[in-house]
């Protein structure tokens, strides 16, 4: 993996971590509910692991497809899938319904997995992985490395934001600062899909 790919992956990780809908806001809410910073920090690992699980599963599925199908076909397939998902995210608003405010760590990880999957977190990362690597061992190591870089960056962004909002800013900041990342997200997906088609 080259440096550019690693930086793009880290950037996407930070972007995902920045999105309140991906989990740091949930961690802040749980902290406020218990009035405890420890509760904020306790909530973050399951959230980040759920997100990483979603990314890894997406990469694993496409790796399997790459072992079975010609590279061009996989590239165009991924491009169509990622673009199509981005368009769908633009037109369709969804209100996920699963857990409430009282959640176990397992539920929190599951919620994060669903949110990441429903938003296409893994799909956005996918085109980066099409650039290099063939064969089972290469694909496995590349998927793991990709997930690791993305996840570490997401963890850093989400932890920093959760703590800054919990300790300093307060949730009132959301009213002005919570830009509609869903639209940005959808556009990013379409851009990632286009880049997959071009590489």
For residue 77, the minimal CB distance to other proteins (Å) is 29
CA distances from 126 to 78, 147, 159, 180, 195 (A): 8, 10, 24, 23, 10
Cβ-contact 73, 130 below 8 angstroms: no
For residue 1, the minimal CB distance to other proteins (Å) is 33
Q: Which residues contact 25 (CB under 8 A, 6 or more apart)?
A: 162, 165, 171, 174
- State how far the Cα of 68 lies from the Cα of 71, in Å rounded to an integer: 9
Is the Cβ of residue 20 or residue 46 nearer to other proteins in the bound state? Answer: 20
Q: How far apart are the first and last CA of the chain?
A: 15
Is the Cβ of residue 96 or residue 135 nearer to other proteins in the bound state? Answer: 96
For residue 176, the minimal CB distance to other proteins (Å) is 6
Of the candidates 23, 17, 26, the residue with the CA atom closest to the CA atom of residue 101: 26
For residue 67, the minimal CB distance to other proteins (Å) is 37
Is the Cβ of residue 99 or residue 194 nearer to other proteins in the bound state? Answer: 99
Is the Cβ of residue 23 or residue 127 nearer to other proteins in the bound state? Answer: 23
* Positions in the binding site for other proteins (CB under 8 A): 20-21, 25-26, 28-29, 32-33, 35, 93, 95-103, 111, 171-172, 174-176, 178-180, 182-183
For residue 172, the minimal CB distance to other proteins (Å) is 5
- State how far the Cα of 158 lies from the Cα of 164, in Å rounded to an integer: 10
Cβ-contact 108, 43 below 8 angstroms: yes
Is the Cβ of residue 4 or residue 36 nearer to other proteins in the bound state? Answer: 36
């Amino acid at each position: 993996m080259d440096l550019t790919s690693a930086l793009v992956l880290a950037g996407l990780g930070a972007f995902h971590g920045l999105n309140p809908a991906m989990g740091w806001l949930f961690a802040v809410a749980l902290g406020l509910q218990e009035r405890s910073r420890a509760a904020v920090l306790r909530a973050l690992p399951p959230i980040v692991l759920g997100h990483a699980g979603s990314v890894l599963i997406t990469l694993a599925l496409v790796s399997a497809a790459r072992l079975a199908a010609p590279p061009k076909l996989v590239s165009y397939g991924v491009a169509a899938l990622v673009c199509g998902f981005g368009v769908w995210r633009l037109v369709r608003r969804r209100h996920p319904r699963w857990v409430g405010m009282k959640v176990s760590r397992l539920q929190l990880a599951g919620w994060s997995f669903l949110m990441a999957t429903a938003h296409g977190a893994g799909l956005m990362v996918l085109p980066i992985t099409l650039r290099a690597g063939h064969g089972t061992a290469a694909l496995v190591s590349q998927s793991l490395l990709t997930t690791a870089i993305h996840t570490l960056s997401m963890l850093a962004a989400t932890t920093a934001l959760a703590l800054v909002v919990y300790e300093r800013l307060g949730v009132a900041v959301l009213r002005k600062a919570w830009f509609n990342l869903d639209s940005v997200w959808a556009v990013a997906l379409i851009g990632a899909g286009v880049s997959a088609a071009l590489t």
